[in-house]
A and B are shown apart, each in its own frame.
Chain A
Amino acid sequence: MSSKETGSNDEPMKASRRSFLKYAAAGAGAAATSAGMAGNAAAQEAEAEVAPTVPAEIADRNAAPLPKIEFPMTGANLFGRACAAEGVAALFCCPGNYNIIHAIADQGIPSYSGRHEGAMTSAADAFIRATGELAVASGTEGPGFTNMISGLAAANSSRTPLLLVASNMRVSMDDTESAIQVMQQQPLTTGIKKYGKRLITPERLAEYVGYTFRQLKTGIPGPVHIDFTAEVSNHEIKSEAELGYYGDSGLYRTDSRPAPSTTDLTKAIDLINASQRPMIVASTGVFYSKAWDALMSLAEKAQIPVVESGPTMGKFPHNHPLSASAAPDALPSADLVILVGQYCMPSAGEYAFGPEAKYIRIQPEALDIGRNMPINVGIVACEKLALEALADMVRKTDRASWINEIAAARKSFQAQNDEYYRIGSGYTDAVHPAVIAKELGDFLYRGELAPEQTTVVAGGFGIARYTRRYLEAHRPGQVINGAYQFGSIGPDVAYAVGVGAGVQQGAGVQASVKGSPIINITGDAGFGFTGMELETQAKYRLPVVNIVYNNNSWGTWYSSRDLPRGAQLHLFQENLRYDKVAEGLGAHGEYVQTPDQFLPALKRAYEIAAEEGIPSVINCQAKKEFWIREQYEPGFLGKVEPGVMSYYH
């Protein structure tokens, strides 16, 4: 790996180049608040001398020798070996659960440590959502584990096949309160995992490795929580023979997938043929079954528009003429809705499809089909196999009038967004969210960058209501829906650690953009939860441009602003300098106070990310009153699902 990629401490962050960029801009009037510092070369030199540096152990981590793991080995090493054999692509952790994290790292699995176990759980979740590959989150027993619970719940809502592992004290210490951190973990994750197990019988570890990866790799995905008592992780396994058939993944699980029945397919084809205005909702299962080619075949052959939902966007390119992801006005016209892998199921009225619409649902397990919404046809099958079969069976169809309606709806949505930008750019004393959203979209998709290049973490609260409207996904995994379903607004910086790691590695579906910068959108409230993970981004040289929408308040302020005692509970200090926090943590900082400063700052940050691998914070100074419609049209925006605005389902 080159020093450019690693950011070796031999090159202390190229401070002089970044200073040049920053102060050149200040000289042009683009960074007004830097003006007082400009020209103070001596002070800059002094700062550079004490700039954060990446230690060689991190910078050169991939060059370190891999220990040879042989029998006899510990239970921890057996688990690490299984993770490698099953294709685990990353580990995110904080120190603790030492046996396990060291065993995983010793397998050569890319391993990252951060500042908070919850944040690392979110990073692992996002890595999986962005790449489609497996990842492990690990924390120590007691508080390390409890810190991870919120991240696990979010992964569960997103149906992420996350492997959460935590250490635990010895079984022999149960109920004693001897030493510290004795607790039962599994009851605390009830309802927020697909499968969980406290491992207490050392001789059965290999068997539970089988349980773990069967759950992670089959059926509707979801997180698995394993807690290792010390007896299990320290247990010595003398030889391969002790594992029995659990030493071979081909014997303890299958890659076979359920195929659709001909009867169900025929019923579905009849409905499609009878439909005037069918629409496919491409959701979570399309991503995890890698069904995008089959989806394209079906959509194009039968001329069926596709709208996206789910925690990851890009299963169908938004610039395709059949994409309805940015055509919300057309959704109520659909007379047949084909929900493909829609694991997180909306209730009546939550999706914009009208009350007359008929429904086909496709997913690999029957248990959920029919929940919340009635079905006309249910197809129990792997989404990819079902879409391939439907594409084979469906007849070529011309739906010109329906496709024209979709195009008109896209145009109408864009016109509405353009109007929001026109209004927002007229507010010149602070940065309106429409300015960030529109100019970011133009920069990513209509400028010098290839539209498919940049992966985006679409997080934040109020800002997200704007940016989602302008974000586009042109390939699988290009946009990660941060707050999906569980509604956490805090993990965005941590999500960007996971996505940044996935792109840095070129893991899974991010292979085509390996090493590219990524964008993370968050708010000032969200930044407060995981902002310290900027240090994690910086130390691993993850090229993340973090856009922080800073309106001095929680997004909840505007609905509580008239409460005499309650309103202050929703406020922060004003004009906080998250950009300076970034600089202190080894990242680059930009402070943007007026609309005209945003795009130049974005360009600088992106260039630094691309050329030096260094993350940035663009601290966009807004104001909380932008959410008040009576004062600042268009105010706080609502949303329509499914499509680009979708994040509940």
Chain B
Amino acid sequence: MIAMTVPEVLQTYVQRGVFQDFRPAADKKMFDFVWLNYQRMRVQWQPAQQTIYFRDVIPNVAARSKMDQEIRAFLRGRTTADLPEHRRVDPDAFDLVCENRKSQMSVGIRLKTGTEEEGTRQLMAVMHETFIFLHQRWPEYMYESFGSPLE
């Protein structure tokens, strides 16, 4: 079976109802859609860097703040050997990357030996689990930045 490209993988989530209002850019390198917390999210595919990013997906987090550090630690934990294999981002195949520019955090995955399809699916899973982590650990942030109920 031929592995899918990044746009093709993202399209599968549209067909399965995971994404809503999916809007790919003409060059198929930027994709807008509504997903977690009914928020509009942007995925950027950088073929030259072999990197897929959720851009500015975690807003309002000061660089080097406790929350910034905890999110980075959580992401590092996604690659550790104590996670079940089906949940682990294989560090030989991928690098998880995280940027914080002007308090906007972007989370991405850099393909090393892994395929676009595997990388995209891994990034989706990581993003989903990051939101679970935020809901559990930082409920007031989710209330303020994503409109989650505080109750």
Q: What residues of chain A have their CB less than 8 Å away from a CB belonging to chain B?
A: 276-277, 328, 332-333, 347-349, 352, 354-356, 373-374, 405, 461, 483, 487, 489, 555-556, 558-559, 636-640, 648
A158 to chain B, nearest CB (A): 15
Q: Is B49 an interface residue (CB 8 A)?
A: no
Return the contact of A636 from the options B135, B140, B149 (Cβ within 8 A): B140
Interface residues of B in 68-99 (CB under 8 A from A): 84, 86-87
Whether B18 lies near A638 (C-beta < 8 A) is no
Q: Is B30 an interface residue (CB 8 A)?
A: no
B7 to chain A, nearest CB (A): 16
In the complex the two chains form, what is the Cα distance from A332 to B88 in whole Å? 12
**A348-B18, A354-B128, A558-B140 in contact; A638/B13 too (CB < 8 A)?**
no
Whether B131 lies near A638 (C-beta < 8 A) is no
Number of inter-chain CB pairs below 8 Å: 71
In the complex the two chains form, what is the Cα distance from A541 to B90 in whole Å? 61
In the complex the two chains form, what is the Cα distance from A352 to B136 in whole Å? 11
Which residue of chain A lies nearest to B137 when distances are taken between CB atoms in the complex?
A638
A94 to chain B, nearest CB (A): 27
Q: Is B32 an interface residue (CB 8 A)?
A: no
**A277-B86, A636-B140, A637-B136 in contact; A349/B35 too (CB < 8 A)?**
yes
B26 to chain A, nearest CB (A): 25
In the complex the two chains form, what is the Cα distance from A648 to B151 in whole Å? 9
Whether B149 lies near A487 (C-beta < 8 A) is yes
Return the contact of B139 from the options A347, A405, A638 (Cβ within 8 A): A638
Q: What are 7 A-B pairs with beta-carbon distances under 8 A?
A: A277-B86, A332-B87, A333-B84, A638-B135, A638-B142, A639-B136, A640-B136
A583 to chain B, nearest CB (A): 31
| Residues in B neighbouring A347, C-beta threshold 8 A | 38
| Residues in A neighbouring B38, C-beta threshold 8 A | 347
In the complex the two chains form, what is the Cα distance from A52 to B129 in whole Å? 54
In the complex the two chains form, what is the Cα distance from A182 to B118 in whole Å? 66
B14 to chain A, nearest CB (A): 11
**A559-B143, A559-B144 in contact; A356/B135 too (CB < 8 A)?**
no
Return the contact of B37 from the options A328, A349, A556, A638 (Cβ within 8 A): A349
In the complex the two chains form, what is the Cα distance from A636 to B140 in whole Å? 8
Return the contact of B121 from the options A352, A356, A374, A487 (Cβ within 8 A): A356
4 closest pairs, A vs B, by CB? A374-B17, A638-B139, A349-B36, A638-B136
**A332-B128, A348-B36, A559-B144 in contact; A639/B135 too (CB < 8 A)?**
yes
A187 to chain B, nearest CB (A): 27
Whether B84 lies near A348 (C-beta < 8 A) is no
**A349-B37, A636-B140 in contact; A356/B125 too (CB < 8 A)?**
yes
A521 to chain B, nearest CB (A): 16
| Residues in B neighbouring A354, C-beta threshold 8 A | 124-125, 128-129
In the complex the two chains form, what is the Cα distance from A336 to B137 in whole Å? 26
Q: Is B132 an interface residue (CB 8 A)?
A: yes
| Residues in B neighbouring A352, C-beta threshold 8 A | 132
In the complex the two chains form, what is the Cα distance from A648 to B138 in whole Å? 17
**A277-B86, A332-B129, A348-B18 in contact; A489/B138 too (CB < 8 A)?**
no
Interface secondary structure of A, over-half rule: loop
Whether A355 lies near B128 (C-beta < 8 A) is yes
| Residues in B neighbouring A558, C-beta threshold 8 A | 140
B133 to chain A, nearest CB (A): 9
A336 to chain B, nearest CB (A): 13
In the complex the two chains form, what is the Cα distance from A398 to B15 in whole Å? 32
Which residue of chain A lies nearest to B151 when distances are taken between CB atoms in the complex?
A487
Q: Is B150 an interface residue (CB 8 A)?
A: yes
**A348-B17, A374-B16, A483-B151 in contact; A636/B139 too (CB < 8 A)?**
yes
In the complex the two chains form, what is the Cα distance from A648 to B139 in whole Å? 14
A199 to chain B, nearest CB (A): 36
In the complex the two chains form, what is the Cα distance from A483 to B149 in whole Å? 13
In the complex the two chains form, what is the Cα distance from A276 to B35 in whole Å? 26
Whether A332 lies near B132 (C-beta < 8 A) is yes
Whether A559 lies near B150 (C-beta < 8 A) is yes
In the complex the two chains form, what is the Cα distance from A373 to B37 in whole Å? 14
Given A639-B135, A640-B132; 15 other pairs, CB 8 A cutoff: A328-B136, A332-B132, A333-B87, A354-B124, A354-B129, A355-B124, A355-B128, A356-B121, A374-B17, A405-B84, A555-B151, A638-B135, A638-B142, A639-B139, A640-B135
A403 to chain B, nearest CB (A): 12
In the complex the two chains form, what is the Cα distance from A638 to B139 in whole Å? 5
A359 to chain B, nearest CB (A): 9
In the complex the two chains form, what is the Cα distance from A22 to B22 in whole Å? 65
| Residues in B neighbouring A277, C-beta threshold 8 A | 86
B78 to chain A, nearest CB (A): 11
Return the contact of A638 from the options B16, B36, B125, B138 (Cβ within 8 A): B138
| Residues in B neighbouring A483, C-beta threshold 8 A | 151
Whether A489 lies near B84 (C-beta < 8 A) is no
B149 to chain A, nearest CB (A): 7
Interface residues of B in 96-151 (CB under 8 A from A): 121, 124-125, 128-129, 131-132, 134-140, 142-144, 149-151
In the complex the two chains form, what is the Cα distance from A332 to B126 in whole Å? 10
Interface centre among A332, A374, A648 (most CB of B within 10 A): A332
| Residues in A neighbouring B142, C-beta threshold 8 A | 638
| Residues in A neighbouring B18, C-beta threshold 8 A | 348, 355, 374
In the complex the two chains form, what is the Cα distance from A25 to B86 in whole Å? 55
| Residues in A neighbouring B37, C-beta threshold 8 A | 349
Interface centre among A349, A555, A648 (most CB of B within 10 A): A349
Whether B132 lies near A348 (C-beta < 8 A) is no
In the complex the two chains form, what is the Cα distance from A356 to B138 in whole Å? 25
| Residues in B neighbouring A405, C-beta threshold 8 A | 84
In the complex the two chains form, what is the Cα distance from A333 to B139 in whole Å? 23
